[in-house]
A = this chain, B = another copy of it.
Amino acid sequence: MDTRQKLAALRALMRANKVDAFHVPSTDPHQSEYVPAMWQRRAWLSGFTGSAGDVVVTARQAALWTDSRYFLQAELQLRGSGIALMKLAEPGTPSITGWIARQLKPGQVLGVDPQLLSVQEAETFVAELAEAGIAVRPLAANLLDEVWTDRPEPRLDPVRLHSPRHAGATARDKLREVRLAMRAAGARAHVLAALDTIAWLFNVRGADVDFNPVVIAYAVVMEKEARLFIDPRKITPELTKALKRDVKLLPYAKLPATLRELRATRAPVLLDPATTNAWVADQLRADQIVRGPSPVTALKAVKNAVQIRGVAACHVRDGVAMVKFLKWLEPAVRAGGVTELSAADRLEAFRAEGRLFQGLSFNTISAYGPHGAIVHYAADRRSNARLRPRGIYLIDSGGLYLDGTTDITRTVTLGGPTPRQKEAFTRVLRGHIAVAAAKFPAGTSGQRLEVLARAPLWEAGLNYGHGTGHGVGHYLSVHEGPMGLTPKDVRNVPLRPGNLLSIEPGYYRAGGWGIRLENLAFVALDEKLSGPGGDWYGWDVVTLCPLDRRLIDRRLLTPRERAWLNAYHARVYRELRPHLDPEHRAWLKAATRAI
In the assembly, how many copies of this chain are there? 2
CB distance from A531 to the nearest CB of B (A): 8
A434, B455: Cβ atoms under 8 Å? Answer: yes
Q: In the bound complex, how far is the Cα of B446 from the Cα of A487, in angstroms? A: 12
Q: Is A578 an interface residue (CB 8 A)?
A: no
Partner of A452, one of B451, B463, B492, B531: B451
CB distance from A355 to the nearest CB of B (A): 38
A461, B448: Cβ atoms under 8 Å? Answer: no
Q: Which residues of B contact A455 (CB under 8 A)?
A: 434, 438, 452
Q: In the bound complex, how far is the Cα of B441 from the Cα of A463, in angstroms? A: 8
Q: In the bound complex, how far is the Cα of B455 from the Cα of A449, in angstroms? A: 9
A459, B439: Cβ atoms under 8 Å? Answer: yes
Q: Is A529 an interface residue (CB 8 A)?
A: yes
Within 8 A of B (CB), among A323-377: none
CB distance from A93 to the nearest CB of B (A): 15
Q: In the bound complex, how far is the Cα of B460 from the Cα of A531, in angstroms? A: 13
Q: Is A536 an interface residue (CB 8 A)?
A: yes
B451, A439: Cβ atoms under 8 Å? Answer: no
A440, B458: Cβ atoms under 8 Å? Answer: yes
Q: Is A489 an interface residue (CB 8 A)?
A: yes
Q: Is A558 an interface residue (CB 8 A)?
A: yes
Q: Which residues of B contact A438 (CB under 8 A)?
A: 455, 458-459
Interface string of A499-516 (1 = CB under 8 A from B): 000000000000000000
Q: Which residues of B contact A437 (CB under 8 A)?
A: 459
Complex: chain B residue closest to A556, CB-CB = B560
Q: In the bound complex, how far is the Cα of B526 from the Cα of A434, in angstroms? A: 24
25 contacts between A and B (CB under 8 A): A437-B459, A438-B455, A438-B458, A438-B459, A439-B458, A439-B459, A439-B460, A439-B461, A444-B451, A448-B448, A448-B450, A449-B451, A451-B451, A451-B452, A452-B452, A452-B455, A458-B536, A460-B529, A461-B526, A461-B528, A461-B529, A461-B536, A489-B489, A489-B492, A558-B558
